[in-house]
Structure 1
Amino acid sequence: MDKKYVYMDYAATTFTKPEVLEEMMPYFTENFANPSSKFYSISAKPRMAIDKARERVAKAINAEKDEIYFTAGGSEADNWALKGVAFANKNKGNHIITTVIEHHAITHTCEFLKKHGFEITYLPVNEEGLISIEDLKNAIKDTTILVSVMFANNEVGAIQPIKEIGEVCRERKIYFHTDAVQAVAHVGVDVKDMNIDMLSMAGHKFYGPKGIGALYIKKGVKIENLIHGGGQEKGRRASTENVPGIVGIGKAVELAVSELEEESKRVSYLRDKLINGLTERIPHVKLNGPRGDKRLPGNVNMCFVGVEGETLLLDLDFEGICASTGSACASGSLDPSHVLLAMGLTHGIAHGSLRLSLGANTTEEEVEYVLDILPQIIKRRREMSPYWEEYLNSLKEGEK
């Protein structure tokens, strides 16, 4: 008999909802024709399905249908936005502004662009993981062509002042891209109201399939094509379309946005119950990131002094709880989180971080189970840790 798991890693990925899978299935079987094969009628259904999905994605973020381009995921969309704008606008300037807490899909792309002659400025963040608008204004140069700031952080859930960033970029006539992989369908996103020029998303973060994402590109943005070949995606991203995936992301985002308000309230309540419960039951614990509306509804990220995060994950897995120490893309690394270090945490404290991310199937009973199990694990591990004893002694020394 399979072991029952309490899944609290929704920020890493989500399951595909049955309604989404049901709508996808015909495009694996009877509606399998290549949408680019326009000389026979059976290609019309997949072609129409792509158009419908494009409309659904556009509506979810208040964009126009022809501003949505399907990709193989969020990382591809991020790469396209940065490289595409950088190389298409290098005659205007070579300066790009981003932040120190971006996903590696952004930071590694910036490192690549730096090797190709672009100058990168990394904005700092405060102890909550939020940037300063004044820092952004001060970083802008005559050569600045692009600002890329993530909508919401994947590790600590901090939601950036996106509308204000967009206003600054619009006033200075600088392109503004946001990695909204963690935000779309979890918080309200309006590309027009927020002055966003480009936005990345990934279907598997809101109960759609893996391997499909989208990049919103506002009309008029000068950007290089991503893949050369056929004429798919208006010639900007050649490759036969992943029709089932495209159908899936369209249905998933429509469904998630329709449930957003109610689900956000429910998950936020469970998030706060978990944060408050752990804070009350475990001494010397630190919440990473902001509280309230500046935090993603399902994000809990805490540091437990005297305990290694990787050890916690193994102990939690033994108890049937799935969690993370941060970004799933880097969870195999033993280096402390670059996000937590940027927020001012020491290496020692950052190593004790744990991310619990809640979602559609999270129940109050599951939260209670974690509140029962996790304090026991922390207590047991601290009793075994020489670092914990050193930490307590340092506190006593400080009181003298």
Structure 2
Amino acid sequence: MNKTEVLAKTDELFKLADEKRLARVDEKGKALKDNHRGGSYITYRDDAKRVIRTIINVVNPRLGRTAAKYNNPLFWDKETVEKYLEIRCEQSIKGEIAPKTIAGEMHAIDALRQFSNNKEINVFSGHKKIKIGGYEVHRERLSYIKEEVGSYSYKTSSWAKMRMNEAHTVMKHLSGPYSEWARNVLDTVIHTGARSTTAFMMEKRHIVTENNYTRLEYQKGNKKTNLPMTEFGMAVMNEKKEKAKNPGSLLHSLKGPDGKELSNKQKQKILDRYVSKAAEKAGIELPDNKKFTVHSFRKSFGQNIYDSTRGMNRDEINRKINEFLALQGANAKVIQDRMNREKRRINKYNIERGRSTREFTVEELRAMYTSLMLSHSRLDIVSHYVNRDIKQHEPDTR
């Protein structure tokens, strides 16, 4: 199936969906609000066609999927969409597109999946299903966009920033049958900056004692980071390592009544519930539009890293960055390329006007080091995690 045919069938699909008034639904089967907005089917169609063109022209070649059948959405898989998402986030980082554009495209692809998989529609032939992940995976992709390129403003995010002492206060208020497990997971997060799902999948072998780093293996966007540890942080992770039996044993195993390991989704629900209740008990005052979540603990790690560089000079921070890169192996070049791209971004106008470019300032180096430790490599994303020592930031912004 060539590109023209796929685009024509996409037109047909959304036309039928509009005529039949098909609705997108969430994981519980509840119709979404956007189904009732005027022109939503046209918006879905146009955004979906933009995604299709990029997948055919860019994504499939990168994945080595050159056969014509891969143009057909029936032959897409999760990796197809993840690679597309990675490419679009890279473009957003460069300032070429807005985060909300990517989110709109993800909604369109979910609509394409849902409408095509509907029994009343048979556009892509044979009533076969598009298998790119359900609505829960769609939610994860939207979260990925927020974490990779940020919400429209860090001030609009409902996930409050958290100081390290506040993290410990909330952890002290954890209570219930899973409180010890929850405390251990959060302890890993505040010492490694790992997302909770990465912490859930962390194994004994990921604690590399001899080289003083913790490997963050299972991260969004397939990123892998060897995180340099402080002496205290390494001691904390070694204690967890010693309790695990085998190299492949989970550090934060949690089994259900049937003796089987709970899924990451089940673990996340438990952890979210415990943190919400503990934060309420802790009684820490926050603005009305803010709340402490599991992600707030990752922010406390970021703030701690950033604060640790206060008073350092350029050479000292560069040494920290080089030590980080030295642990990354083959991935170091990818990270270095992203850092160079960030340097070009801050020099955009100098480059356009043929002027000499500048190096990162000491403050920017502090932000870059913090970004790297959070498995990012951009300056702007840091504002979503920490309050920087710059006049644009209030010290206690949440």
Question: How high is the TM-score relative to the length of structure 1?
Answer: 0.27
Q: TM-score, normalised by structure 2?
A: 0.27
More strand as a share of residues? 1
Structure with greater helix share of residues: 2
